[in-house]
Amino acid sequence: MKKITKAVFPVAGLGTRFLPATKAIPKEMLPVIDKPLIEYAVEEAVLAGIEEIIFITSHTKRSIQDHFDKNLELEEKLLKSDKIEAFQKINRKIFQNTTFTYVKQKSQKGLGHAILQAKHLIQNESFAILLADDLIINDPSATQQLINVALKTNTSVVGLNKVPKEHISRYGVISSADIPKHEKLFLLNGIIEKPQSNPPSNLAVFGRYVLSHHIFDYLEKIDPGFAGEIQLTDAIKLMLEDHDINGYLYDGIKFDCGSKEGYVKAIAHLASDMLS
């Protein structure tokens, strides 16, 4: 497998769970302390060696583009008044060689449909997917851990988290016949999106993937699944018929910032240093 340099960020969702906050502001732009949620995930990707960030976006998400674009007027003002620290916060060194690409998803037909919009930009490479709602704190990051496993095993890898029974129906859930090769790596033999009964395991897909470009062939073949949407999970399931795919229980403190509870917990966690 070649070096992984591209990451797809699906950010076209409506953010209904955070209304009214998300009426005029994309949910990805909600601040976690002083940084928008999306910047945590972009930072994670770039530090893991990603050079091109591909946002799958919609017409209501203009501010994400503005956020990763230059604001020359503000930069000039900050420099003139010697506010170097503030200048560095809006002109981050780590993003200097990063390309930001935006693809508009004209209709919202699900996560799988969103990923399919990046097909022409990925071509024959493996790539990362980051769902920015899932904020994961660790060093090495979740993305870095998955990239390492993908390169080592030469397979696609989905990031996993152990989830209690009462919450498992919110996630894509994997099954694995194998005794794990080591306690964190699971060779998939099945995956199902949001099982409403009899989940095959307590291992949920959580916010990070490294997939080979073959996924696009399967995304093009599948019918709408759970909630009438084109599900990435269903394409992964079909891909399993022809390709090995591993699940990796990555390390990190995980916050599901798509829910209010997770969002508040993320803020409380990051704020605890400030309060002590």
> Which residues contact ligand G1P by CB under 6 A?
111, 131, 134, 171-172, 193, 204-207, 232-233, 258
Nearest-angstrom CA–CA distance, 38 and 26: 10
Q: How far is the CB of 260 from ligand G1P (least distance, A)?
A: 14
Q: How far is the CB of 145 from ligand G1P (least distance, A)?
A: 15
Q: How far is the CB of 256 from ligand G1P (least distance, A)?
A: 7
- Whole-angstrom CA distances from 103 to 9, 106, 121 are 10, 9, 10
Closest CB to ligand G1P among 3 and 170? 170
Nearest-angstrom CA–CA distance, 8 and 101: 9
Closest CB to ligand G1P among 78 and 218? 218
Q: How far is the CB of 34 from ligand G1P (least distance, A)?
A: 25
Closest CB to ligand G1P among 6 and 113? 113
CA dihedral for 137, 138, 140, 146, sign (positive or negative): negative
Query: One-letter amino acid identity for 40?
Result: Y
Residue facing ligand G1P at closest CB distance? 172
87-113 burial: b if 16+ Cβ within 10 Å, else e: beeebeeeeeebebebbebeeebbbbb
Q: How far is the CB of 134 from ligand G1P (least distance, A)?
A: 5
Closest CB to ligand G1P among 185 and 205? 205
Closest CB to ligand G1P among 39 and 133? 133
Determine how many CB atoms are found less than 10 A away from the CB of residue 63.
14
